[in-house]
Structure 1
Amino acid sequence: MAEETGNQRYYRAPCPGCGAPVEFRSAQSTHAVCPYCQSTVVRQGDTLARTGKMAELFDDFSPLQLFAAGRIQDKPFTLIGRLQYTYPGGRWTEWIAALDGDRTGILSEDNGAYVFALPFDLQRTAPAPVDLRVGATSAFAGQSYTVTSNEQVALTSAQGELPHLPELGRPFAMVELRNDRGLVLSIDYGTARPSAYLGRSVQLEDLQLTGLRAESAKDEKGRSFNCPNCGSPVTVNLADSKSITCGSCNSIIDLSQGIGGELKHATQDEPVRPLIALGSMGQLQGAQWQVVGFQHRMGSEPGDDEHFGWDEYLLYNKKRGFSFLVDAEDGWSMVKPTTGAPVMAENGSSATYLGKRYQQQYAYNAETTYVAGEFYWQVERGQKTFNRDFANGGALLSMERSTNELTWSSGSKIDSGAVATAFKLDARKDMFKRADALPVSAASGLGCGTIILIIVVIIILLIILSTCSSSGGSGYRSSGGSYGGYSSGGGHK
């Protein structure tokens, strides 16, 4: 039967599985999951038909929950459903949002942040997934997009009411495209006629959400388990973690399939000691960040046997999500994943994003060699990518490409002294200095006579070298590290 509460009209009928009431608040919803017996039901006129039973939800400890309400573009919405998908790299969640009567949107995870998307008319037949290769460009409704993710996914579980329901467990293609204006276009091939959604990055605090999940829900359940390698207790602290390392034996543990079953793990030898300890709190860019993850990575230019290394600290702030603090030989930087995809020149010499042009600094192959802490993606030792780093003054842009995904991050350089001060490590400030320090600043304590003498010596050495140089060239190569390369997933991951 149809009922009204205030201005909200909704439909309620008994579940054909258990008789409990099942509600439909959106006219766009065709399916629902009974909250009592998990029956999957389809609405057929004024009756409900049972089509099967839904698997239990994977508890991701999200702050979101059914019937949380907020505002987008100054219009109200309510979360009425949830879909959980799996793909080779883990899981992610999409929340169905009911807007102004006949429309539904999607609030989805995106690299530790969120994207709010609305239905989008492609204005042409959706290309076959095989034709949307990662890195290729395609135009829709007059806008150019870059394919950033092309994965085979499957619906694992669902909750609430849903505008469509793919067959449980059946793999289908999900393609994601992004552009240099920060737009995210998702094409879902889970139905006979592919559906599309177009969205932008959002902060949960900007959505003015009410009815969020209580913090105590996470504390009461906890996420502790014994390491599958050594048996030591391991505690998961973050809602989105898909990988964690054991503090006792340094094993990497895969959490992407939950912690209730058999856990996969990989052992690590020769641990790397981070300069900033895991768990440290630091004030950077107007926010308090906690170091939750650390990885050491090695790089080499194509065709060059020489290797260089750098460190990446995964930082977390409840309101801002995740960022990366990168410690490379050529300086420190702070970056975070971009929502959109910059436009890169065909030869890779430059990239443009949000109206700013960046010049390429480095192009190299990268490999993760050691990890510690928690990560919102399924990190593995030995993960390999191809990276490009770009710069525009102090502004930085980095591209990282794997087989199925293309990810970008942006940020800026940061003074090494500011990093040490942020984490209350001023006593070890000298250990934070890198090659980006200017000679004059490094010699600020020297007298003018000493500086002049150094310049004279340099000139003499240059004259000697110019007379002795051979025709083979200098062989000099910058060993700059990544400005923000990371082994994560684009899209909803």
Structure 2
Amino acid sequence: MQTVSCPSCGAEVHFRSHASVLAVCEYCHSTILKDADSVKDVGKMSAVLEDYSPIQIGTAGVYDGRHFTVVGRIQQRYSAGTWNEWYVLFDDTSTAWLGDSSGLYTMTRERATQDALPAFGELAPGKRYTICGEPYTAAEIRNAECIAGQGELPFKVGAGWRIQVADFRNYASFVTLDYTDGPHPVVYQGVAVTLAGLQCQLLRDDDTIAKSAGKYRGKLDALDCPSCGSGIKYIPGAAAQLVCPACHAQLDASGPEAQVLAIAKQVHDNVDITLELGASAKINNADFTVIGMMRRADDEGSEWNEYLLYGARAGFFWLVETDDGWSRSNVLPNWPTWPSMDADRCALDGTTYAKLYDYGSQVVYAAGAFNWKVTVGDSTRVYEFEQGQTKLAAEITEEEMTWSRSVPVAYDQMSAWFGAAFHGVAAGRNIKLSHTQTARIFIAIVLVLNAIPMFVSFSSTLLWSVLGCLALFLPAVFLDKNAKNSP
């Protein structure tokens, strides 16, 4: 380790890795560039945003049987949010990058390859490419900028530094192509990881975060909407992309002051919300809070609600409310094998899932806090697959692709999780049935009541029973079609 004095304030600055050429003074945030025989101050680096990641400079762990220490960080912003790249130094002096985005982590190293790699402008989420001799699916295509740095880094970087990167996945394998320096990208290859799997030590705890930010990680805080003045509850650092529940203005609360990104142009009236923002639940001995809610519609006009839940120790997941009931959905770190977007099957962990359908979806209402930017009108192509009661869904936009897995949740389970905050069937709320569903119930009643007469005199009662069922069912279908097509 090499120790130098900061040219700006005189504080000690440590270079643990001989490969590091830049360090950020933790006292005055001066960017210090190291060459063969001297160091120089090349300007101030913006302080990192308090994003409440448990990782910090000095966090240690084990990967692939070798011990490592986190020695630096780049914080980057793209159109939908921010993420961290932590610079990792191993005991054998080799280095790697620990990606940190909304609770999903990857460990990657630079790797040489002879493959002919695609141009950045040719990439599209969902398409498959051969990289390092293996098939990968494009997951994210990002134009981003560096907004802050911390610790030591292997190259010169500063606030406003623009990057072009693309991420690819193959089950747990992960590749990043970095096109920042030109058309021939630098390749970083690795795998999806978890902090528990890395045996991480010296992670930040709630008390440490409280001292650095004055707020406990996971605690709901509030701010006044700069557009209309209404109070908005959110979780500082964990979810800073906000949609005001009152005026639906889109806000960015990642900085010291909330900024209005856009005034709402479209508001979906009469949205039936079952779980209110701020509702809390105890799930698997972990505390969760409903922080965001959006309503989506498919190509045929069917609509459903999605509620974003956050737990300080367990991260994010979704509760989805449809006419058929509730389900819990989690983003998958390990991706299924799906040969192409035309394939009618995919496989994950030895299980094959059959395609149900694909459709376009659009956000028609949003409110609360999210860990990425949500806007009314956002469009997504969804491909759903099913095996038993478990469903997988691939969602594709122009910039990214994600996979999620969902399982049904019973009404009594929802009631046990949320108690009085849940207004579903278990809490005494009536389910709104469609005309067709209501007709089916009445048809079942008619058939049961006529079961005995039909058994005694089948031929004389069959025709009237059929006509009665059609008289109930056909008008119901007509009414549901009119309701779906009406504005």
Q: Same fold per TM (> 0.5)? A: yes
Residue 175 of structure 2 aligns with an amino acid whose one-letter code is L
Q: In structure 1, the residue corresponding to 2:47 is in which secondary structure?
A: coil
- The question of 1:349 aligning with 2:348 is answered no
Q: 2:44 matched to which residue of 1?
A: 53
Among 179, 192, 196, the residue aligned to 2:187: 196
Cα drift, residue 114 of structure 1: 2.5
Q: In structure 1, the residue corresponding to 2:260 is in which secondary structure?
A: coil
- 2:329, 2:405 within 8 Å by CA — same for their partners in 1? yes
Q: 1:254 matched to which residue of 2?
A: 251
Q: In structure 2, the residue corresponding to 1:101 is in which secondary structure?
A: coil
Q: 2:242 matched to which residue of 1?
A: 244
Question: Cα distance 1:139–1:46, how it changes in 2: closer, same or farther (>3 A)?
Answer: same
Q: 1:281 matched to which residue of 2?
A: 280
Cα drift, residue 224 of structure 1: 4.8
Cα drift, residue 366 of structure 1: 0.7
Aligned Cα root-mean-square deviation (Å): 3.8
Alignment partners' CA distance in 1, 2:452 and 2:237? 58
Alignment partners' CA distance in 2, 1:314 and 1:406? 18
Q: In structure 2, the residue corresponding to 1:418 is in which secondary structure?
A: helix
Alignment partners' CA distance in 2, 1:98 and 1:434? 58
Question: Cα distance 1:266–1:344, how it changes in 2: closer, same or farther (>3 A)?
Answer: farther
- The question of 1:263 aligning with 2:257 is answered no
Cα drift, residue 97 of structure 1: 1.8
- 2:107, 2:190 within 8 Å by CA — same for their partners in 1? yes
How far does the alpha carbon of each residue in 1:151-187 deviate from its partner, in whole angstroms, 9 at most, with x for none? Answer: 11121221110122346424331101112x2222112
How far does the alpha carbon of each residue in 1:194-243 deviate from its partner, in whole angstroms, 9 at most, with x for none? Answer: 33333333333443321525142366158654311122343432422132
Question: Cα distance 1:24–1:191, how it changes in 2: closer, same or farther (>3 A)?
Answer: farther
Residue 177 of structure 2 aligns with an amino acid whose one-letter code is I
- The question of 1:226 aligning with 2:244 is answered no
Q: In structure 2, the residue corresponding to 1:130 is in which secondary structure?
A: helix
Q: Which is further off, 332-341 or 357-366?
A: 332-341
Among 148, 167, 171, the residue aligned to 1:157: 148
Cα drift, residue 44 of structure 1: 1.3
Residue 324 of structure 1 aligns with an amino acid whose one-letter code is W
Higher relative contact order (CA 8 A, sep 6+): 1
Cα drift, residue 391 of structure 1: 0.7
How far does the alpha carbon of each residue in 1:67-86 deviate from its partner, in whole angstroms, 9 at most, with x for none? Answer: 12233345322221110112
Among 204, 207, 226, the residue aligned to 1:212: 204
Cα drift, residue 286 of structure 1: 6.3
Cα drift, residue 257 of structure 1: 5.4
Question: Cα distance 1:62–1:346, how it changes in 2: closer, same or farther (>3 A)?
Answer: closer
- TM-score, structure 2 length as denominator? 0.81
Q: Which runs of 5+ in 2 are unaligned?
A: 472-476, 482-487
Q: Which runs of 5+ in 1 are unaligned?
A: 1-9, 301-305, 469-473, 479-493
Report how many aligned residue pairs link the two structures: 452
Q: 2:289 matched to which residue of 1?
A: 290
Q: 1:374 matched to which residue of 2?
A: 369
Alignment partners' CA distance in 1, 2:114 and 2:72? 27
Residue 190 of structure 1 aligns with an amino acid whose one-letter code is T
Q: 1:486 matched to which residue of 2?
A: none
Q: 1:332 matched to which residue of 2?
A: 326
Cα drift, residue 311 of structure 1: 0.7
- The question of 1:136 aligning with 2:127 is answered yes
Question: Cα distance 1:40–1:332, how it changes in 2: closer, same or farther (>3 A)?
Answer: same
Q: In structure 2, the residue corresponding to 1:216 is in which secondary structure?
A: helix
Question: Cα distance 1:127–1:41, how it changes in 2: closer, same or farther (>3 A)?
Answer: farther
Q: 1:174 matched to which residue of 2?
A: 165
Q: In structure 1, the residue corresponding to 2:121 is in which secondary structure?
A: helix
How far does the alpha carbon of each residue in 1:113-151 deviate from its partner, in whole angstroms, 9 at most, with x for none? Answer: 322333334343543212322222111223210111111
How far does the alpha carbon of each residue in 1:75-114 deviate from its partner, in whole angstroms, 9 at most, with x for none? Answer: 3222211101122223222111222232222222234432
Question: Cα distance 1:11–1:252, how it changes in 2: closer, same or farther (>3 A)?
Answer: same
Cα drift, residue 367 of structure 1: 0.9
Question: Cα distance 1:282–1:235, how it changes in 2: closer, same or farther (>3 A)?
Answer: closer
- The question of 1:186 aligning with 2:176 is answered yes
Q: In structure 2, the residue corresponding to 1:94 is in which secondary structure?
A: strand
Q: 2:397 matched to which residue of 1?
A: 402
Alignment partners' CA distance in 2, 1:264 and 1:455? 66
